[in-house]
Amino acid sequence: MIEGSAGSSVSGKLKYGMIGGGQGAFIGDVHRKSINLDGMADIAAGCFSRSYDNTLATGKGLGISEDRLYKTFDEMADAESKRPDKIDFVVIVTPNSTHYEASKAFLNKGINVVCDKPLCFEEAEAKELVDLAKKNNLLFCVTYTYTGFPAVKHAREMIQKGDIGDILFVTGEYPQDWLVTPQEKQGSKQAAWRTDPALAGKSNCVGDIGSHIENMISYVTGLKIKSVCARLDKIMPGRVLDDNASVMVEYTSGAKGLYWSSQIALGNDNGLEFRIFGTKGGIEWRIEDPNYLKVTLLGKAKTILSRGRDELYPRGQSLSRIPSGHPEGYFEAMGNIYKTYAGALIKQKAGQELTGDDLDFPNAENGLDGVKYIGKCVESSQKGAVWVNF
């Protein structure tokens, strides 16, 4: 196929603000560029750093009026909620330690929230955010970016339609090697906060990348976890949080799973991968080759579906942007999440009913599942790698 998906029809752009993502940060600019892909929202306010000078400099570079650059997220939530032209949603891209308080501040002021994962530290905090969003009729998105790939959407629809039968076994892995040396002691800002319990929480590896496995498998398969048996390793000397994790999983359906995440797997860049095996077929996908989905149906030869060339099921096809052979990657996947989220907000503002496709973005309940998964893995490991029920 040569055609890409139809462009978005925007009736009235949204306005958004950002917490974090100032000069020297990593992920904030990725979010801004991804939001810009479809032209559905403009940035209008921000508290980009604990340093107000950084916030001012970042805001100036983004063309934001100085009266909408704030010293704290509490100040921003309060001031924006009172403006006739207030932001429609806020994007929170700070280290994990401030996700809960920042999200709560904006939800309490009636402002929709997008928050990086993990949602927060504790299950009770996550439940509170879920309840607040529901109570105030707000849309809450948690940016598990990898669910935005068209091939992932197709895999999900295949499973929903029963193409591979009942799921028997699942594997998910996410190996990286960037922490095989003590980067946190060598000036890496990203490594420093991820290995610090005060900023990252009770887990580094599982919290940072292992939670992506949990979310991806849950999204694609619909399986619910019954129990986990986890061993969280601190491979590098001196680390107080895990940098490698092996997790056995049992699902309520009776299916089994095995998850491995690592930041010390030398030779691996960003190897998120899943393999799903059912009674009628199997599916395989890798983030580093995201346009392709390997499918094997019982009694038939293995095939490789190509995004852009082969017709996908409707949801995945609708988010395929460019022709075959032209790689779509991380920006596009995150852009697909924001495209869906912004579209839902626009329809909600217009008083229109939201469909399942409108709400096809990771939500607060998915964030709660991720927080619970992290906590149960830590609990299991601390008890000697025993089975722990969800």
Q: What is the DSSP string of 70-138?
A: -SSHHHHHHHHHTSTT--SEEEE-S-GGGHHHHHHHHHHTT-EEEEPSS--S-HHHHHHHHHHHHHTT-
What is the C-alpha separation between 17 and 73, in angstroms, rounded?
10
Which helix H or strand E contains 244, and what residues bound it?
strand 244-251
Which helix H or strand E contains 251, and what residues bound it?
strand 244-251
Which CATH class name applies to 149-321+367-389?
alpha beta
Adjacent-strand bridge partners of 388: 228
pLDDT at 271: 96
In this structure, are strands 112-115 and 140-142 parallel, antiparallel, or unpaired? parallel
What are the backbone dihedrals phi and psi of residue 42, each rounded to the nearest 5 degrees, phi first?
-115, 145
Q: Are 228 and 217 within 8 A, CB to CB?
A: no
Q: Output DSSP code: residue 363.
A: B
Q: Output DSSP code: residue 358.
A: T
pLDDT at 24: 87
pLDDT in tens, the chain (390 residues): 444 444 444 457 999 999 999 998 889 999 999 999 999 999 999 999 999 999 999 999 999 999 999 999 999 999 999 999 999 999 999 999 999 999 999 999 999 999 999 999 999 999 999 999 999 999 999 999 999 999 999 999 999 999 999 999 999 999 999 999 999 999 999 999 999 999 999 999 999 999 999 999 999 999 999 999 999 999 999 999 999 999 999 999 999 999 999 999 999 999 999 999 999 999 999 999 999 999 999 999 999 999 999 999 999 999 999 999 898 999 999 999 999 999 999 999 999 999 999 999 999 999 999 999 999 999 999 999 999 999
pLDDT at 8: 42
Helix (H, G, I), strand (E, B) or coil at 175: strand
| CATH fold match for the domains 14-145+359-363 and 149-321+367-389 | no
Q: If 0-12 CB within 10 Å is exposed, 13-18 middle and 19+ buried, where does residue 135 land?
A: exposed
Q: What are the tokens at 46?
A: 């921000």
CA–CA distances in Å: residue 132 to residues 106, 126, 157, 257, 323: 10, 10, 31, 33, 42
pLDDT at 1: 44
- CB count in 10 Å sphere of residue 9: 8
Sequence spans of domains, the chain: 14-145+359-363, 149-321+367-389
pLDDT at 9: 41
**Which option is the CATH number for 14-145+359-363: 3.40.50.2300, 3.40.50.970, 3.40.50.170, 3.40.50.720?**
3.40.50.720
Q: Are 278 and 161 within 8 A, CB to CB?
A: no
77 contacts: CB under 8 Å, gap ≥ 6: 90, 105, 106, 108, 109, 111
CA–CA distances in Å: residue 76 to residues 71, 117, 133, 223, 264: 8, 21, 18, 39, 39
What is the C-alpha separation between 241 and 245, in angstroms, rounded?
11
Please state the separation of Cα 77 from the chain's center in Å. 23
What is the C-alpha separation between 114 and 367, in angstroms, rounded?
11
Residue pointed to by tokens 């055609």: 3
pLDDT at 3: 47
Residue type, 365: E
What is the C-alpha separation between 346 and 341, in angstroms, rounded?
9
pLDDT at 111: 98
Q: If 0-12 CB within 10 Å is exposed, 13-18 middle and 19+ buried, where does residue 107 land?
A: buried
Buried b (16+ CB within 10 A) or exposed e, 300-332: eeeeebebbbbebbebbbbbbbbeeeeebebbb
